[in-house]
Amino acid sequence: LKNIFKVLLTSVDTKIQETPSLFLGMVRWDSCLDTDEEHVNFARRDELNRAHSEEREEADGPLNFELDVCHQDPEYKSPAPLPHAHIKLITSWEAGWNVTNAIQGIFVLGLPYALLHSGYSGLFLIILAAALCCYTGKILIACLYEENDDGQLVRVRDTYEDIANACCKKLSPKVGGIVVNVTQVMELIMTCILYLVVSGNLLLHSFPYVLVTEKTWSVIAFVTLLPCVFINTLKIVSKLSQLCSLVHFFIILVVMTYCLTQIHQWSWAKFRLSIQFEDFLVSVGVIIFSYTSQIFLPTLEGNMKNPGEFRRMLNWTHFFACVLKTTFALTAFLTWGEETKEVITDNLPSFLQTLVNLCLLTKALLSYPLPFFAATEIVYTCISRGNHSNYRSPLFALGVRGSFLLITLLMAMFIPHFALLMGLTGSVTGAAMTFLLPSLFHLKLKWKKLSLLEKCADISVFVLGFLCSLAGMVCSIKGLTNQ
């Protein structure tokens, strides 16, 4: 056993060997970000299955080691730590708040508008999307694990990029990771842009007597987000997500309470039996994008204190999200019918609109750090993977975050159409990361172990995701160009 440890430790990068903080008490060989060519993302924690990750004691010393030897690549090398980020493990509740923040976000405001264009089928789509997104989240995490010689599941991959590289290894060792990283960054940036767009819209309708344009309000909201450049831990993001979710529940309560006071005006006749095909496809994109969280799942699961609780956490977060979204969208649409606007708070009476809009503004600003942090960490680790000292300084990390803040502002200034932009993002990157890639990767890595039913399910999800992505992308772009 001592010889095995010697062989393992001699293969570790010199910087890790020289970092004493990694070897105090219980040493976790994953307290740093991954910068290896095939293992890069914004947060890393190699976690073995609880049955496989018991503490190992060295015979001649008090140190305990909990190591995960990656079986994906025999040339695998442990990365050097990045000085700008710190990993603190999160509980299942904190992981659930992050998932809830992603799938129960500000984009729920577009669901009543989606029902306007999709009719009864929209209600079915909200439920179906929740089930499918929960399923693809589980199979994506399953791709991180392989069975060892003892039949135990071991976490041999750490990020979405690792999964892509494993699937495309015969074609090219890097092409899969590049595609996934580009897609991830695109979706995360678009999410940040949408938060700025909706913040400007909310401020405009909250203070209509102030002679300021929507774009100017977006700039003002941008200024309040400048402290995001100093966020460097997922623990901080989790706390902000928790506050964001509490604000969200308060908003839903206020809007639904008002809708219930108008129950005498409700009529199921407001639902369309016949729908416009193009409008329906845009609605599909809106609904899909409101459930996307797959980008965050590998990192969240790897940073959980008990990864064995991940599947249960995913079940209850998606279940409650589905119930709340369906109830909210249905009551709001029944209240306003054909007069339903892109952002549902615009339909509220003036005495409630300002209060709710300010709460939504708070929620949008609190939601921004999660996708922003994820996008900047992906780009930062990709840039600094060569271990160049000039690219690994905290000042350079601040520069990357500051550049991303500016990019989201500039794009928010030029594309202000909230629902159409959300539909475009959901149709392109949302569908790819949520449906196409998880099902494709699961089939590739687990084909021999899947039952016929599981294979059919994955193929069906892939085909459905491809059709929705293609059609929704065409219709959303057409809608944007006609504005």
Residue 370 has φ and ψ, to the nearest 5°, of -65, -60
Amino acid present at 237: V
Q: What is the pLDDT of residue 446?
A: 92
Q: What is the pLDDT of residue 248?
A: 84
Q: What is the pLDDT of residue 20?
A: 38
Q: What is the pLDDT of residue 341?
A: 83
Residue 271 has φ and ψ, to the nearest 5°, of -75, 140
Mean pLDDT, 10 residues at a time, the chain of 483 residues: 38 38 34 35 35 38 36 38 54 87 77 83 88 94 90 88 88 82 82 83 82 86 88 82 86 88 82 69 73 84 90 94 90 87 80 83 88 84 66 75 87 67 65 86 92 94 83 69 67
Residue 422 in tokens? 């959300």
Measured distance CA(481)–CA(483) in Å, rounded:
6
Of residues 189, 221, 111, 223, the one with CA closest to residue 370: 189
| Chain centre to alpha carbon of residue 467 | 22
